[in-house]
């Protein structure tokens, strides 16, 4: 009987289904426009299609499954339509109200954006991938209010930006904590195409769950995963041209000679002695030779920048495949990036450069000697990335995931004169462009030997680039994560358990080859050669670093539910364990270990009143026993005013949410050393005893004294914010005001009695810094139309910190204290014009007790009016090197397949210290354009630079750190621009391709600033020229989706 | 049933997770040696002891390339940017002292106490050594540490007067550290004496390790430190009648008290002079050659000195530029110093015809002064003249490197070092802190103050005059030396001794402190001069000129300022007057 019924039902059903096997339809938006490319899937199957150019689709249904279609498209609310008994349907997709369904990634979870009460900003993958850079950190610039980026180097593979969330509030490490897919990992070199979203957590409410490591803010990267549907293949290819942003040529040889002479005469020295003029001659006749270039071996006029640079190139290829069904979802991707540096290192090309060609033509020996050495010493960077994210549903309730990511990097560069050491910056290649006078040495001597100038033997870039060897660094990184999610609805609806285990390993090695020719200085007077550096025969070497292992475990119990329709309650209880080992330094064999118990409760009443409590109970083995655990609590509240009954539904004001938070977070990154609670004993000096002094036994002394009370920094943070949307959600405006008080900052205590004899004290938790500011974001997004869309967004961020306490050594005058200023505030003398006469010198406050001042020297202000300018007259000058204000403007439109987007980004209220090779005249014999306006008796009234001296160095009072040498660090740049064209669907309907997109984009295309000689974001520590200049990039790309 | 199981699994997982982890945090660092490891191990236990020696201050060109004597009327630095000019011109602040032993001495004191403490507390076993012998070795090193502490404290006393006495190994956060204050001048003197006496008790006349230990502290070194301390204690600066500040000198010292202090000092000097080896010979003797003294190692005239490996950096700095490798000049003598040398027969020099001023002077003159036409051994002659035949050695010829007084300093230099050779030689440059000449002249000074020039009532073996003549005889004066002829009074003798110290111990960081303890600061408050020689054809024109008219000295500079940090951190530490 039962069987008969079943058979009957089967027959009925199959006849019904049979008659409905095909479903046709058209998908439109609310305005009636047809929608192209809407994914149409039968629910819970892999059976699907995409709407065509007329918005039309046709699908054969799987008769064994539910006759329900899911229609989805980015920007629209996914619709489910039951097509039982229908052969033809028209579907209207509702445009997604911006943000309403949007989910953001938060610490240890996700949350609907509308219910977020903390200060969280996020960036989408699209914004990241349209910046043609190798490091994702560079593509974040200007994208997120409150995130300060500073790109200090352009070295291929090493050009990532430093990141600061809401500026800085510590003298220690202020890097944010970064996590990739929930595990602490660097994301500097991650393949941008793999990124789904980037969340930046700024306030205590968002970061308290990271407890002891959250105080500097947290950046969460989520990588892409597969979704149910047809397999999708994405392919990207890019080719770009790179060029340095800033590289200043020194003045020509004749001008340099005149200036050398002037400086030497100014010092009362005899300019006819070469030892007084940076070792090159400066007579009238010599100037004639410099000008006419009749004798390039004795009187060269080298243009180093022109001779040794070329535009670099970069290429990027990426392919990813994603898709899935009810059991398995996958996202796999392989990416390759390569960037070639801006040095011309091919000898065949160098031989064509005019200055070198001239030498070749003049001397057959040079022609014979300058040979290709057969190896590649150019700067380049290759990166291979592979990622596989797999999700498997074992049962309806249990899902597991396996994520594997692999990164291989290779960096190549010339070897250094000193060997194959790892200090790439020690090359000073760019420094040699800045610091050398054009006539310092010919690149090669007439006898075919390599040339250099006496005393600066290491400065010939031709030798470095073409004849010194090379070094390649290899780096491998393997990251694996296993995770599971267990839906416990069978125990209690809304309850789930999940966990993950991650094991990351990083290993690196290098190999290289070094050689060096003998270097000679040519003396034309007696046709002799003075030997400088001794040559080195080619030899190879290699090495490897100890591997780094990181482990992470996490287990979380979650609940999410609705009680009585209006009480939305969710929460998580999570425990985790982290162990990291990094080689090098004392105590390096013992890993850093963290343990934490984390809890969060979210509650909202009818989507009107939002509340959230977060807490992290953390333990860290960086501290002494008994001081290892601490509780970091935070709470936040929100009020969605527009959901109140008394607020009328309005087309003008769509959404208003007020939110506020306060809480505590910690920072245990206290510099490189980990075990401050233990005393150290270190090798001391050797002292000579005996008739034949024998310093075999090296002394031993106390190193750093232990501080058993050491603990983490604690940040107490307040945040008040508002999110609003107006005019059909086209206009959005958000604002956040914050204040942070960072206490217990680890500081070397300067206020201790020297008479105790202690040489080095362990840092103590003495420092205190406050940091406050605001962020504004104003955006406009047009309604989504078929033909024309546009958007614009402005962000403005301000963060200013103030040192409340830093255990500063006592000073005789209050204005000398750094305490009360910003972290990193420049301190120095105050420029008070140039002395214009000896009478003025005599009448002015004595300068440092010096007796050799002359008109044209810098005059400093006597701040304390004691008649003497000395170290007690140093005050805060300029700002710090980290900008206090950052802002951005982005805008764009798309029109019938064309699109354009722009990003302007800027910063202000910072200072750049111009010194050494890049700032001073005659640091090693070089001069720049601004030195044309130096002080001379004739130009006294208009001079903008002090008189020349025989040589500039920090011991001379003109070159003391003063505001004269600080430049305003403000800048505005066109950070990014992209123009693209989507080939009409019509043209590719007969191909397997879904879309084809061509684009051109550029990075750092224009910069407006006052620093000029170097990039305004340059790290001031590198101002001696030991840096690789930042690059601008013009890039051509093609994206195809199948 | 099913639900119960899941409950259990859940509970189990979470609890195990929480508890298993606890052990991980207990990992502690183990890859670094602690004192227990060091002081119990052969070859290592001596390292902290040796380290204490590295805090001995002094040495050549220790103040940004210049000798301390460039801040006296004897010398001038050619280096324009040298901090020494701030010292001689009075641009010194308590937060920017040019010359401050504070940090270094206290670090040395702590290191010495650290070594003493652990040598005493930690058991040490040595190969082929009995436990009794180990104790003997430990005691010697403990004695060395006492002597070094005495030396470091004497350095503090010279500069600051009374200073905070540190007698203990403080740990971080010790509340006593916050209440440290300066002890009285008298107490500090007594403390150094008692440290020296402890050292004398533990130490032998010969250094541990025999000749390989030359330079280590010995019984004689400790006695010499004690003697010098007592000399300072007896000197006028610290015996001002009516002084009511116990930190800067003895309180309200009377003539009788001062005289008693000179008596103690004389006896302490005599102890050093008469110290005997086990075989009965004197431990210390004047080197036969004044010229070779400073480059000879070992020599038994040196009592306390700064050890150093062979080098030629001093020559590079102090040679005239033509002989130097890449420097030259450095600290150069002034005309005032040149004038202070007696004639060869001991008669006082009086200025007359400048062209003959270099003839027939003190035998040490040509060893110490490099002047126009002076011979630098095998390296030949140098010329400081301007005009015809001028060289890079000429007055102000090369900035920072040529003389700015017309003179170069030849003392200490070894003319076997020739920078024109591919391998210029190296030589010993042991900087003397205390040597026998110094002690003899201090002895003479103390004896003269108590007994006058010619008496030796305690049978020390020498009168004041005998001691001075011993120094002059070694210097090369002959029997016709008239230097002390007719010197019958204490006052005349005092002036002679002062001048003899000035020449004999020139540029050895003595005069800077001698002028202070004698309260002769006015000598530092006047310009220094030099010689300009211009050649025109065959004629040389000589003229004196002012080299530096910014020299400044005020009475508060008799003592150095306590570092500002100490005053600000611990208000109970009182600053010296006037700073």
Strand partners, A72: A39
CA distance A854 to A12: 110
Which residues 6+ apart lie within 8 Å of A807 measured at CB?
A: A747, A748, A749, A750, A751, A764, A766, A767
Which residues in chain A have Cβ-Cβ distances shorter than 8 Å to B34? 679, 681
Which residues in chain B have Cβ-Cβ distances shorter than 8 Å to A595? 21-22, 24-25
Tokens of A540: 């190879």
* DSSP E strands, B116-230: none
Q: Is the pLDDT of residue A6 over 50?
A: no
Which residues in chain B have Cβ-Cβ distances shorter than 8 Å to A622? none
Residue A295 contacts B, CB cutoff 8 Å = no
Total residues found in chain B within this entry: 579
**A269, A630, A708, A756: best to mutate for the B interface, most B CBs within 10 A:** A756
CA distance A595 to chain B (A): 7
Residue A650 contacts B, CB cutoff 8 Å = no
Place of tokens 């400093």: A860
- Are B13 and A620 in contact (CB < 8 Å)? no
Which residues in chain B have Cβ-Cβ distances shorter than 8 Å to A955? 81
pLDDT in tens, A493-520: 889 999 999 999 999 999 999 998 999 9
Write down the pLDDT at residue B4: 63
The larger pLDDT score, comparing residue A658 to residue A42, is at A658
Q: Are A880 and A826 in contact (CB under 8 A)?
A: yes
Chain B residue with Cα closest to A629: B25
Q: Which of A555, A693, A755 sits opposite B566 (nearest CB)?
A: A755
- Are B29 and A674 in contact (CB < 8 Å)? yes
**A531, A686, A755: best to mutate for the B interface, most B CBs within 10 A:** A755
Would you place residue A968 in the very low, low, confident or very high pLDDT band (cuts 50, 70, 90)? very high
**A703, A757, A765, A864: best to mutate for the B interface, most B CBs within 10 A:** A757
CA distance A574 to chain B (A): 9
How large is the average pLDDT for residues A29-42?
79
Chain B residue with Cα closest to A701: B48
Tokens of A83: 């097509």
Q: Which of A497, A678, A700 sits opposite B38 (nearest CB)?
A: A700
Q: Which of A587, A593, A697 sits opposite B47 (nearest CB)?
A: A697
Tokens of A997: 């997109």
CA distance B543 to A714: 72
Question: How many Cβ pairs closer than 8 A exist between chain A and B?
Answer: 236
How large is the average pLDDT for residues A994-1018?
91
Helix or strand holding residue B152 (H, E): helix B131-160
Chain B residue with Cα closest to A490: B3
CA distances, A952 to each of A254, A430, A920 (Å): 19, 19, 7
Write down the pLDDT at residue A55: 83
Q: Is the pLDDT of residue A10 over 50?
A: no
Which residues in chain A have Cβ-Cβ distances shorter than 8 Å to B106? 754-757
What are the backbone dihedrals phi and psi of residue A950, each rounded to the nearest 5 degrees, phi first? -60, -35
- Are B27 and A810 in contact (CB < 8 Å)? no
Q: Is the pLDDT of residue A581 over 80?
A: no
Q: Is the pLDDT of residue A585 over 60?
A: no
Residue A620 contacts B, CB cutoff 8 Å = yes
Tokens of A449: 């030997």
Closest CA to B25 of A582, A552, A577, A676: A577
What are the backbone dihedrals phi and psi of residue A1008, each rounded to the nearest 5 degrees, phi first? -115, 120
Which residues in chain B have Cβ-Cβ distances shorter than 8 Å to A809? 565
Residue A1008 contacts B, CB cutoff 8 Å = no
Q: Is the pLDDT of residue A9 over 50?
A: no
Residue A749 contacts B, CB cutoff 8 Å = no
Which residues in chain A have Cβ-Cβ distances shorter than 8 Å to B42? none
- Are A755 and B163 in contact (CB < 8 Å)? yes
CA distance A661 to A207: 11
Q: b/e per residue, A684-693, with b = 16+ CB within 10 A?
A: bebbbbbeeb
Closest CA to A310 of A267, A345, A277: A345
Which residues in chain A have Cβ-Cβ distances shorter than 8 Å to B24? 577, 579, 593, 595, 621
Q: Is the pLDDT of residue A318 over 50?
A: yes
**B565, B571, B575, B579: best to mutate for the A interface, most A CBs within 10 A:** B565
Q: Is the pLDDT of residue A846 over 50?
A: yes
Q: Are B185 and B161 in contact (CB under 8 A)?
A: yes
pLDDT in tens, A89-142: 888 888 765 555 678 899 999 888 888 999 999 888 888 888 888 889 999 999
Write down the pLDDT at residue A674: 67
Would you place residue A1025 in the very low, low, confident or very high pLDDT band (cuts 50, 70, 90)? low
What are the backbone dihedrals phi and psi of residue B60, each rounded to the nearest 5 degrees, phi first? -80, 140
Summary mean pLDDT of chain A = 87
Q: Are A637 and A610 in contact (CB under 8 A)?
A: yes
CA distance A161 to A383: 18
- Are A586 and B7 in contact (CB < 8 Å)? no
CA distance B525 to B544: 19
CA distance B373 to B535: 12
Tokens of B86: 């701030």
Total residues found in chain A within this entry: 1042
- Are B48 and A701 in contact (CB < 8 Å)? yes
pLDDT in tens, A703-750: 888 888 888 889 999 999 999 999 988 999 999 999 999 999 988 777
pLDDT above 90 coverage of chain A, percent: 48
CA distance A996 to A35: 18
| Reduced 3-state DSSP string for B211-261 | HHHCCCCCHHHHHHHHHHHHHHHHCHHHCCCCCCCCCCCCCCCCHHHHHHH
Q: Is the pLDDT of residue A153 over 90?
A: no
Closest CA to A706 of B77, B538, B44, B171: B171
Write down the pLDDT at residue B400: 85
pLDDT in tens, A409-433: 999 988 887 777 766 555 677 878 8
Residue A949 contacts B, CB cutoff 8 Å = no
Which residues in chain B have Cβ-Cβ distances shorter than 8 Å to A849? 85-86, 89, 91, 550
**Lowest mean pLDDT: which of A803-807, A1034-1038, B521-525?**
A803-807
- Are A871 and B93 in contact (CB < 8 Å)? yes
**A572, A630, A682, A700: best to mutate for the B interface, most B CBs within 10 A:** A700
CA distance A852 to A859: 13
Residue A531 contacts B, CB cutoff 8 Å = no
Residue A18 contacts B, CB cutoff 8 Å = no
CA distances, A931 to each of A251, A277, A354, B555 (Å): 9, 17, 27, 47
Q: Which of B22, B29, B216 sits opposite A678 (nearest CB)?
A: B29
Q: Which of B48, B109, B308 sits opposite A688 (nearest CB)?
A: B308
Place of tokens 């004497």: B154
- Are A757 and B565 in contact (CB < 8 Å)? no
CA distances, A170 to each of A706, A713, A802, A803 (Å): 22, 9, 10, 9
CA distance A659 to A639: 6
Write down the pLDDT at residue A211: 87
Q: Are A978 and A130 in contact (CB under 8 A)?
A: yes
How large is the average pLDDT for residues A587-609?
85
Residue A893, helix vs strand vs coil? strand
CA distances, A839 to each of A49, A1024, B122, B528 (Å): 90, 36, 69, 24
DSSP class of A416 = B
Cis omega before residue B298 (within 30°)? yes
Burial degree of A40 (CB within 10 A; 0-12, 13-18, 19+): buried
Q: Is the pLDDT of residue A567 over 90?
A: yes
Residue A765 contacts B, CB cutoff 8 Å = no
ipTM summary value: 0.82
- Are A557 and B214 in contact (CB < 8 Å)? no
- Are A688 and B550 in contact (CB < 8 Å)? no
The larger pLDDT score, comparing residue A94 to residue A537, is at A537
Closest CA to A1038 of A321, A130, A238: A238
Weakly modelled stretches of chain B, pLDDT under 70:
1-31
CA distance B378 to B371: 16
pLDDT in tens, B93-138: 887 788 788 999 999 999 999 999 999 999 998 888 898 999 999 9
Closest CA to B136 of B204, B185, B74: B204
CA distance B124 to B143: 17
Q: Are B127 and B137 in contact (CB under 8 A)?
A: no
CA distance B355 to B372: 10
With vertex at residue A475, the alpha carbon angle to CA A469 and CA A479, rounded to the nearest 5 degrees, is 175
Helix or strand holding residue A717 (H, E): strand A713-726
Write down the pLDDT at residue B292: 92
Write down the pLDDT at residue A569: 93
Q: What is the dihedral of CA A80, A82, A88, A89, to 10 degrees?
A: -40
Q: Are A312 and A243 in contact (CB under 8 A)?
A: yes
Residues 729-748 of A with CB under 8 A from B: none
- Are B110 and A757 in contact (CB < 8 Å)? yes
CA distance A821 to A745: 16
Tokens of A1030: 């930042």
Write down the pLDDT at residue A859: 94
Q: b/e per residue, A408-435, with b = 16+ CB within 10 A?
A: ebbbbbbbbbebbeeebbebbbbbbbbb
Place of tokens 């040339």: A451
Residue B359: CB atoms within 10 A of its CB come to 10
CA distance A168 to B424: 54
DSSP class of B399 = T
Q: Is the pLDDT of residue A676 over 90?
A: no
pLDDT above 70 coverage of chain A, percent: 94
CA distance B84 to B66: 7
CA distance A26 to A24: 7
Most confident among A156-170, A613-627, B328-342 (mean pLDDT): B328-342
């Amino acid at each position: 009987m039962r069987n008969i019924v079943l058979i009957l039902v089967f027959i009925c059903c199959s006849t019904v289904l049979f008659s409905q096997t095909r479903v046709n339809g058209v998908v439109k938006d609310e305005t009636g426009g047809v929608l192209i490319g809407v994914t149409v899937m039968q629910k819970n199957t892999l059976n699907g299609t995409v709407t065509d150019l007329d918005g039309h689709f046709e699908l054969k249904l799987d008769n064994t499954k539910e006759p329900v279609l899911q229609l989805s498209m980015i920007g629209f609310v996914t619709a489910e339509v039951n097509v039982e008994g229908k052969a033809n349907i028209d579907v209207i997709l509702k445009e997604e109200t911006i943000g309403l369904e949007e989910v953001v990634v938060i610490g240890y979870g996700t949350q609907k954006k509308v219910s977020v009460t903390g200060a969280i900003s996020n960036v989408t993958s699209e914004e990241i991938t349209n910046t043609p850079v190798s490091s994702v950190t560079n593509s974040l610039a200007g994208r997120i209010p409150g995130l300060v980026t500073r790109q200090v180097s352009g070295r291929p593979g090493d050009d990532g930006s430093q990141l600061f969330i809401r500026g800085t509030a510590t003298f220690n490490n202020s890097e944010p904590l970064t996590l990739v897919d929930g595990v602490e990992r660097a994301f500097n070199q991650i393949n941008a195409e793999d990124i789904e979203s980037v969340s930046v957590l700024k306030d205590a409410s968002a970061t308290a769950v990271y407890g002891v490591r959250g105080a500097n803010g947290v950046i969460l990267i989520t990588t892409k995963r597969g979704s149910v549907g047809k397999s999708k293949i994405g392919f990207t290819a890019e080719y770009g041209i790179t060029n340095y942003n800033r590289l200043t040529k020194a003045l020509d040889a004749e001008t340099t000679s005149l200036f050398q002479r002037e400086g030497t005469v100014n010092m009362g020295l005899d300019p006819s002695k070469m030892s007084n003029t940076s070792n090159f001659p400066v007579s009238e006749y010599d100037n004639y030779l410099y000008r006419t270039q009749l004798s390039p071996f004795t009187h060269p006029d080298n243009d180093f920048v022109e001779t040794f640079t070329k535009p670099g190139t970069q290429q990027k290829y990426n392919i990813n495949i994603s898709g899935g069904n009810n059991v398995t979802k996958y996202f796999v991707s392989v990416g390759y990036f390569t960037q070639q540096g801006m040095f011309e290192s091919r000898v065949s090309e160098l031989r064509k450069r005019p200055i070198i060609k001239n030498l070749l033509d003049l001397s057959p020996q040079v022609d014979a000697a300058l040979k290709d050495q057969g190896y590649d010493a150019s700067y380049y960077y290759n990166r291979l990335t592979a990622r596989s994210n797999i999700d498997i549903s074992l049962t309806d309730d249990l899902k597991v995931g396996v994520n594997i990511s692999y990164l291989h990097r290779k960096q190549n560069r010339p070897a250094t004169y000193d060997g194959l050491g790892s200090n790439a910056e020690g090359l000073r290649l760019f420094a040699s462009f800045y610091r050398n006078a054009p006539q310092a040495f010919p690149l090669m001597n007439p006898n075919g030997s390599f040339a250099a100038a006496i005393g600066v033997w290491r400065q010939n870039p031709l030798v470095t680039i073409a004849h010194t060897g090379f070094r390649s660094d290899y780096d491998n990184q393997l990251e694996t994560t296993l995770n599971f999610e267990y839906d416990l609805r069978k125990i209690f609806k809304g309850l789930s358990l999940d966990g993950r285990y991650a094991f990351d390993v990083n290993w690196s090695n290098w190999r290289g080859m070094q050689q060096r020719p003998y270097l000679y200085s040519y003396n034309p007077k007696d046709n002799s050669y003075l030997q400088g550096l001794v040559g080195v025969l080619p030899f190879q070497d290699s090495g490897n670093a100890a591997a780094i292992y990181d482990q992470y475990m996490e287990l979380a119990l979650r609940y999410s539910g609705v009680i009585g329709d209006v009480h939305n309650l969710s929460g998580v209880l999570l425990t985790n364990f982290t162990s990291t080992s990094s080689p090098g330094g004392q105590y390096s064999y013992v890993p850093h270990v963290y343990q934490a118990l984390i809890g969060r409760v979210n509650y909202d009443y009818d989507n009107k009143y939002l509340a959230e409590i977060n807490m992290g109970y953390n333990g860290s083995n960086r501290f002494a026993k008994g001081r290892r655990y601490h509780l970091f609590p935070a709470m936040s509240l929100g009020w969605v005013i527009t959901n109140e009954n008394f607020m009328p539904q309005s087309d003008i004001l769509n959404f208003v949410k007020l939110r506020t938070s306060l809480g505590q977070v910690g920072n245990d990154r206290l510099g490189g050393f980990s075990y401050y609670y233990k005393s150290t004993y270190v090798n001391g000096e050797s002292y000579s005893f005996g008739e034949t002094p024998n310093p075999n036994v090296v002394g031993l002394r106390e190193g750093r004294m232990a501080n058993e009370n050491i603990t983490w920094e604690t940040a107490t943070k307040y945040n008040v914010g508002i999110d609003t949307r107006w005019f059909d959600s086209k206009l959005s405006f958000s604002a956040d005001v914050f204040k942070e008080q960072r206490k217990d900052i680890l500081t070397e205590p300067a206020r201790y009695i020297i008479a105790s004899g202690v040489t080095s004290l362990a840092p103590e938790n003495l420092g205190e810094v406050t940091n406050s500011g605001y962020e504004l974001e104003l955006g406009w997004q047009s309604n989504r139309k078929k033909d024309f869309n546009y958007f614009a967004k402005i962000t403005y961020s301000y963060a200013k910190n103030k040192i409340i306490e830093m255990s500063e050594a006592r000073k005789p005058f209050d204005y000398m204290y750094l305490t009360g200023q910003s972290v990193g505030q420049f301190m120095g003398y105050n420029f008070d014009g140039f002395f214009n006469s000896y009478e003025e010198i005599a009448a002015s406050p004595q300068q440092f007790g010096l007796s050799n001042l002359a008109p044209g020297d810098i005059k400093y202000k006597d701040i304390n009016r004691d008649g003497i300018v000395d170290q007690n007259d140093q005050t805060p000058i300029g700002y710090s090197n980290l900008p206090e204000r950052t802002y951005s403007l982005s805008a764009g439109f798309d029109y019938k397949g064309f699109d354009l987007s722009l990003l302007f980004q800027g910063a202000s209220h910072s200072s750049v210290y111009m010194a050494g090779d890049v700032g001073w005249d005659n640091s090693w014999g070089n001069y720049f354009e601004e030195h044309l306006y130096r002080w001379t008796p004739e130009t006294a009234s208009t001079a903008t630079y002090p008189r020349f001296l025989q040589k500039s160095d920090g011991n001379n009072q003109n070159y003391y750190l003063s505001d004269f040498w600080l430049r305003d660090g403000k800048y505005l740049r066109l950070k990014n621009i992209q123009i693209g064209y989507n080939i009409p669907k019509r043209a590719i309907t007969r191909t397997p391709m879904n879309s084809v997109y061509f684009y051109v984009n550029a990075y750092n295309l224009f910069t407006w600033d006052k620093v000029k000689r170097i990039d305004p974001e340059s790290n001031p520590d590198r101002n001696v020229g030991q840096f690789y200049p930042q690059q601008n990039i013009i890039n051509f790309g093609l994206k195809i989706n199948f | 049933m099913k639900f119960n199981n899941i409950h259990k699994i859940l509970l189990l997982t979470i609890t195990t997770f929480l508890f298993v982890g606890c052990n991980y945090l207990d990992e502690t660092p183990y890859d670094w040696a602690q004192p227990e490891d060091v002081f119990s191990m052969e070859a290592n236990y001596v390292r902290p002891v040796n380290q204490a020696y590295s805090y001995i201050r002094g040495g050549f060109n220790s103040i940004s390339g210049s000798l301390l004597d460039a801040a006296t009327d004897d010398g001038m630095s050619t280096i324009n940017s040298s901090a020494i000019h701030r010292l001689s011109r009075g641009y010194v602040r308590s937060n920017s002292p040019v010359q401050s032993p504070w940090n270094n001495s206290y670090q040395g004191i702590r290191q010495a106490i650290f070594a003493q403490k652990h040598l005493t507390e930690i058991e040490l076993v040595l190969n082929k050594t009995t436990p009794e012998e180990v104790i003997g070795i430990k005691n010697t090193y403990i004695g060395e540490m006492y002597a070094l502490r005495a030396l470091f404290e004497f350095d503090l006393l010279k500069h600051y007067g009374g200073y905070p006495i540190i007698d203990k190994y403080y740990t971080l956060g010790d509340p006593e550290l916050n209440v440290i204050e300066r002890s009285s001048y008298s107490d500090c003197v007594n403390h150094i004496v008692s440290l020296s006496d402890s050292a004398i008790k533990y130490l032998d006349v010969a250094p541990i390790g025999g000749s390989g230990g030359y330079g280590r502290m010995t019984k004689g070194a400790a006695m010499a430190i004690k003697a010098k301390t007592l000399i300072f204690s007896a000197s006028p600066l610290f015996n001002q009648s009516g002084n009511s500040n116990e930190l800067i000198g003895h309180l309200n010292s009377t003539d009788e008290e001062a005289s008693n202090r000179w008596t103690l000092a004389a006896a302490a000097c005599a102890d050093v002079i008469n110290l005997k080896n086990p075989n009965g010979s004197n431990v210390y003797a004047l080197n036969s050659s004044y010229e070779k003294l400073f480059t000879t190692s070992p020599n038994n005239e040196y009592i306390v000195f700064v050890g150093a490996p062979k080098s030629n950096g001093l020559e590079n700095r102090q040679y005239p530029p033509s002989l130097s490798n890449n420097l030259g000049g450095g600290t150069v003598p002034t005309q005032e110093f040149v004038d202070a040398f007696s004639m060869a027969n001991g008669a006082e020099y009086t200025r007359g015809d400048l062209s003959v001023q270099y003839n027939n002077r003190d035998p040490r003159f040509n060893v110490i002064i490099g002047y126009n036409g002076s011979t630098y051994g095998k390296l030949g002659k140098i010329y400081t003249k301007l005009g015809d035949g001028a060289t890079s050695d000429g007055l102000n010829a090369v900035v920072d490197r040529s003389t700015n007084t017309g003179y170069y300093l030849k003392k200490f230099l070894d003319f076997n070092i020739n920078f024109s050779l591919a391998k210029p030689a190296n030589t010993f440059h042991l900087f003397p802190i205390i040597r026998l000449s110094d002690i003899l002249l201090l002895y003479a000074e103390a004896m003269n103050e108590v007994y006058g020039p010619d008496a030796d009532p305690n049978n020390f073996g020498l009168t004041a005059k005998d001691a001075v003549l011993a120094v002059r005889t070694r210097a090369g004066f002959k029997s016709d030396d008239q230097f002390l002829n007719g010197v019958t009074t204490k006052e005349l003798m005092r002036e002679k001794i002062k001048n003899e110290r000035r020449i004999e111990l020139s540029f050895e960081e003595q005069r800077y402190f001698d002028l202070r303890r004698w309260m002769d600061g006015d000598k530092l408050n006047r310009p220094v001069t030099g010689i300009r020689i211009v050649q025109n054809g065959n004629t040389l024109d000589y003229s004196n000129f002012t080299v530096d008219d910014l020299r400044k000295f005020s009475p508060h500079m008799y003592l150095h300022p306590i570092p500002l940090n100490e005053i600000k951190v611990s208000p109970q530490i009182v600053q010296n007057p006037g700073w």
